[in-house]
Structure 1
């Protein structure tokens, strides 16, 4: 698979997203304990083995590869992302595309855990937060964990009800598969 990168977010759009408030209150709760009143999601899977693989996967996660390799398009203010990065994550073709504005609310950079958390902004179909964390276990296994809490944030997701939750579970599996697909020593391109 060829390397994919995010595109720059238009300056006017970036300013609008930076000025917007998050659509939920429990900022950072994907790292500390999922709040009540939301649907919860947790999915993780092995994506490799060893310190080098952990570092490769962590760099990929911070460069939007979870989303890009899962079929989304990303327009962002930063790549690699940093805390405060705003982005539009877009799924689907042309006029059927679903735009999901987000802000990176936490970046995790620990010896055996790395990744980020983003929260929803106005216009996102859900209200809540999603974390993408790469873990290096004691036995050397590298895992990607996707954790989220959300509730419908638009008429479409309220009407769709359980269909949205099924779609979230499918995407979580795609996210893990996307990072698993990184060829050791090949990504990022040099």
Structure 2
């Protein structure tokens, strides 16, 4: 359902890439070619059975992957905790004195009995340019998995290092920028999925 813009302030601007929705949350397999952006995808098994599915499906549509990875997610202009297509958010990551602010817009949602998730795209001011999607899905045998997909290219970072002026402040922000980049986060997939659905679940990588 499209998100109403009634009562919302001005948008942060146009998406910094195209085409929107290219991570295709509703589709499996993923046709990721001919976008001009770097593709990445990873799937991790996070549970089994109805209880695990319900917990994962609810969490993923409420920014669970980001929030439980240590990011703060704030809705812009009245956007709620549960994602709605067209809604805009600011995702914030803090690394010591450095802060990375990531303005984004939800560009696609899938919400079916066996597949839930959403894609968001970058807006001006985001340290990278592209699209990311979080999808939880279950197979006929009850296995529940999380798939993360990226399409991205690097952009100049908007990093704040409080109390450090000028070029020195920008240099201090470099580690935060790298940590915010999808390629740098990829190695933490097992920990992210553990947090998404509960520490008691065993996780297996699905290639």
Shorter-chain TM-score: what band?
A: 0.7 to 0.9
Could you tell me which runs of 5 or more consecutive residues in structure 1 were left unpaired when the two chains were aligned.
Answer: 1-13, 185-190
Summarize the alignment of residues 114-125 of structure 1 with structure 2, pairs less than 5 Å apart.
114-125=116-127
Summarize the alignment of residues 116-135 of structure 1 with structure 2, pairs less than 5 Å apart.
116-135=118-137
Cα distance in 2 for partners of 1:175, 1:23 equals: 26
Pairs aligned (count): 170
Aligned position for 1:27: 20
Cα distance in 2 for partners of 1:165, 1:60 equals: 20
Aligned position for 1:154: 156
Aligned position for 2:27: none
Shift of 1:170: 3.0
Summarize the alignment of residues 1-190 of structure 1 with structure 2, pairs less than 5 Å apart.
15-16=9-10, 18-31=11-24, 33-36=31-34, 37-76=36-75, 77-93=79-95, 95-154=97-156, 164=181, 166-181=183-198
- Seen in structure 2, the aligned counterparts of structure 1 residues 82 and 165 have a Cα distance that, compared at 3 Å, is closer
TM-score by length of 2: 0.72
Alignment RMSD (CA, Å): 2.8
| Secondary structure of the corresponding residue to residue 144 of structure 2 | strand
- Asked if the contact 1:45/1:176 (under 8 Å) is kept, the reply is yes
Shift of 1:83: 0.8
- Asked if the contact 2:128/2:155 (under 8 Å) is kept, the reply is yes
Deviations for 1:108-156, whole angstroms, at most 9, x for unmatched residues?
0112100111000000111110110000112111001101110012168
| Secondary structure of the corresponding residue to residue 30 of structure 1 | coil
Larger Rg computed on CA atoms: 2
Cα distance in 2 for partners of 1:15, 1:167 equals: 33
Could you tell me which runs of 5 or more consecutive residues in structure 2 were left unpaired when the two chains were aligned.
Answer: 1-7, 25-29, 160-173, 202-207
Aligned position for 1:7: none
- Asked if the contact 1:89/1:100 (under 8 Å) is kept, the reply is yes
TM-score by length of 1: 0.77
